[in-house]
Amino acid sequence: MKYRIEGKEDALIIVDVQVDFCPGGALPVPRGDEVVPVLNEYIRRFRAAGALIVATRDWHPPNHVSFKNYGGLWPPHCVQGTEGAKFHPDLNLPDDVIVVSKATDPSREAYSGFEGTDLEERLRRAGVRRVFVGGLATEYCVKSTVLDALRYGFETFLLEDAVRGIDATPGDVEKAIKEMLERGAKKLRLQDIG
Q: List pLDDT tens digits, range 127-150.
A: 999 999 999 999 999 999 999 999
Residue 58 is among the residues annotated as catalytic for this protein = no
Distance between alpha carbon 119 and the CA centroid of its chain, in Å? 12
Q: List pLDDT tens digits, range 55-95.
A: 999 999 999 999 999 999 999 999 999 999 999 999 999 99
DSSP letter, residue 18: B
Catalytic residue among 22, 141, 143, 148: 141
**In this prediction, what percent of the chain has a pLDDT beyond 90?**
97
Amino acid 170 reads P
Which of the following CATH numbers is that of domain 7-192: 3.40.50.850, 3.30.310.10, 3.40.190.10, 3.40.640.10?
Answer: 3.40.50.850
* φ, ψ dihedrals at 60, nearest 5°: -80, 140
Amino acid 154 reads F
Distance (Å, rounded) from C-alpha 116 to C-alpha 109?
10
Distance (Å, rounded) from C-alpha 38 to C-alpha 40?
5
Domain boundaries, the chain: 7-192
Q: Which of 110, 151, 104, 128 is nearest to 10 (CA)?
A: 128
Which residues fall within 8 angstroms of residue 160, CB to CB, at 6 or more apart? Answer: 177, 187, 188, 189
Residue 95 is among the residues annotated as catalytic for this protein = no
Catalytic residue among 10, 78, 102, 148: 102
Assign 194 a pLDDT band (cuts: 50, 70, 90).
confident
Let me know: does 86 contact 57? Beta carbons within 8 Å.
no
Residue 141 is among the residues annotated as catalytic for this protein = yes
